[in-house]
């Protein structure tokens, strides 16, 4: 079932801030490594190479059919759990070889994958993409979100999951532990304790990739969080209080967020999706926002809204000096063909000198 918060996450995660590109880069790197592990490919995660490797649709359709096969195996092995899930079944017909990017065959492959996502997995429109979004790069965000949701659905019945999805499962497991044990928490006790009683999740059948995050990783995470927070030089810094390993209380409210490390990115779990911590702070820390009503350090004010920054020398304080310098520099500016304010300052004399100069030049 789709997370009800994922629509909100999809609409809010990408904003026009400096770090919004890092948000997409983190997801593309994770998805590229995931596809490479599944199919022995060499899909690059950085730059435009990720979309270029997938734009013919062949890898996407191959993955769809692989998910279908794993779903059939899961249904045969665990029919009770399968009955509570929406399992895909329809095979995707596609052209695998000799497909040129942007060609009719490439568009047809991508279109068939989109139809499979909608019809077989039931992915909501807010997370879907159109053919041109991939082929013509019209909406990179929705393509990435859709592929991540495909991975999320597949992980429920045994498809290898990207690291972001594994982190989601780790956080959900922690929340279940807290809900079941309101007394003294058993934090990192039995990591697999809830996996067997929950067959619908399919986690027991998922061949998890890589080790689970350890306490050492989380300690390193806290250092990274402090480093990012320390980039703000305001005397009254945005509050972000550590509650437990990987969990923080942010702002003046009691809101709790989960923070994890994904390669070189510090990621925040927001709603049903993810954001980078730096991008999250850009949206919530007043001194990082690009609004005039917020407190901004001088370099960031210049970078975001230079038209709102007052000039360094005060106009009133230097009015006398500026008048003097304008009078002294007036002949040189007029002689150079200056217009506008120099003529207005010179008054009638500027209008008399202008025609005489042009006439003498014409006679010469």
Task: Please give the backbone phi and psi of residue 232, each rounded to the nearest 5 degrees, phi first.
Answer: -85, 125
Total Cβ atoms within 10 A of residue 258? 20
Q: What is the CATH number of the domain that holds 248?
A: 3.30.920.20
Question: What CA–CA distances, in Å, run from 356 to 118, 187, 314, 339?
Answer: 78, 90, 38, 16
Tens-digit pLDDT profile for residues 5-40:
444 334 333 333 345 577 788 899 999 999 999 999
Residue 30: its pLDDT value, please?
94
Q: Which domain holds residue 75?
A: 6-170
pLDDT digits (tens, 9 = 90+) for 234-285: 777 788 888 888 888 888 777 888 998 888 788 888 877 888 888 888 887 7
Residues 55 and 141 in one domain: yes
Residue 348: its pLDDT value, please?
Answer: 45
What is the predicted pLDDT for the residue at 154?
Answer: 96
The verdict on 156 and 298 lying in the same domain is no
Low-confidence ranges of the chain (pLDDT < 50): 1-18, 184-216, 290-310, 314-364
Residue 194: phi and psi, rounded to 5, are -95, 0
The residue length of the chain stands at 364
Residues 222 and 303 in one domain: yes
Reduce the DSSP state of residue 241 to 3 states and report it: strand
pLDDT of residue 213: 34
Tell whether 152 is covered by a domain.
yes
Do residues 59 and 43 touch, judged by C-beta distance below 8 A? yes
The reported pLDDT for the residue numbered 302 is 35
**256 beta partners:** 249
Q: Which tokens in the block code for residue 110?
A: 């991508």
Q: Tell whether pTM > 0.75.
A: no
Specify if 264 maps to a domain: yes
Same domain, 220 and 140: no
In this prediction, residue 182 carries a pLDDT of 60
What Cα–Cα distance (Å) separates residue 69 from each residue in 87, 148, 157, 239? 10, 19, 11, 48
Distances (CA, A) of 358 to 206, 231, 331, 347, 349: 86, 59, 16, 18, 15
Give the up-direction half-sphere exposure of residue 55: CA atoms within 13 A in the CB hemisphere: 21
CA distance 280 to 17: 10
Output the 3-class SS for 99-162: CCCCCHHHHHHHHHHHHHHHHHHCCCHHHCCCHHHHHCCCCHHHHHHHHHHHHHHHHCCCCCCC
pLDDT of 63 reads: 98
Count of domains for the chain: 2
Residue 331 lies in a domain: no
Residue pair 228/266 in contact by the 8 Å Cβ criterion? yes
């Amino acid at each position: 079932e789709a997370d009800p918060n994922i629509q909100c996450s999809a609409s809010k995660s990408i904003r026009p801030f400096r770090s919004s590109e890092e948000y997409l880069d983190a997801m593309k790197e994770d998805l590229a490594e995931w596809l490479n592990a599944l199919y022995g490919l060499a899909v690059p995660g950085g730059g435009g190479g990720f979309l270029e490797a997938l734009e013919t649709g062949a890898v996407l359709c191959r993955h769809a059919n692989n998910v279908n096969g794993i779903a059939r195996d899961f249904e045969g092995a665990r029919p009770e759990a399968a009955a509570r899930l929406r399992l895909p079944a329809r095979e995707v017909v596609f052209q695998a070889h000799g497909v040129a990017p942007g060609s009719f065959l490439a568009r047809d492959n991508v279109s068939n994958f989109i139809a499979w996502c909608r019809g077989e997995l039931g992915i909501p429109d807010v997370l879907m993409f159109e053919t041109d979004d991939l082929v013509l790069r019209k909406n990179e965000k929705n393509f990435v979100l859709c592929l991540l949701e495909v991975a999320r659905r597949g992980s429920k019945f045994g498809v290898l999951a990207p690291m972001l999805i594994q982190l989601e499962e780790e956080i959900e497991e922690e929340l279940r532990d807290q809900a079941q044990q309101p007394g003294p928490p058993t934090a990192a006790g039995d990591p697999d304790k809830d996996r067997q009683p929950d067959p619908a999740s399919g986690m027991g059948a998922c061949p998890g990739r890589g080790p689970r995050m350890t306490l050492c990783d989380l300690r390193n995470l806290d250092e990274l969080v402090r480093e990012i927070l320390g980039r703000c030089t305001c005397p009254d810094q945005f509050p972000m209080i550590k509650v437990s390993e990987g969990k923080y209380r942010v702002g003046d409210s009691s809101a709790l967020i989960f923070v994890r490390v994904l390669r070189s990115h510090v990621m925040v779990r927001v709603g049903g999706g993810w954001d980078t911590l730096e991008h999250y702070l850009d949206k919530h820390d007043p001194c990082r926002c690009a609004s005039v009503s917020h407190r901004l350090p001088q370099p960031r004010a210049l970078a975001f809204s230079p038209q709102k920054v007052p000039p360094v020398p005060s106009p009133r304080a230097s009015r006398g000096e500026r008048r003097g310098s304008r009078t002294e520099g007036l002949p040189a500016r007029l002689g150079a063909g200056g217009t506008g304010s120099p003529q207005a300052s010179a008054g009638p004399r500027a209008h008399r000198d202008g025609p005489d100069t042009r006439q003498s030049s014409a006679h010469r």
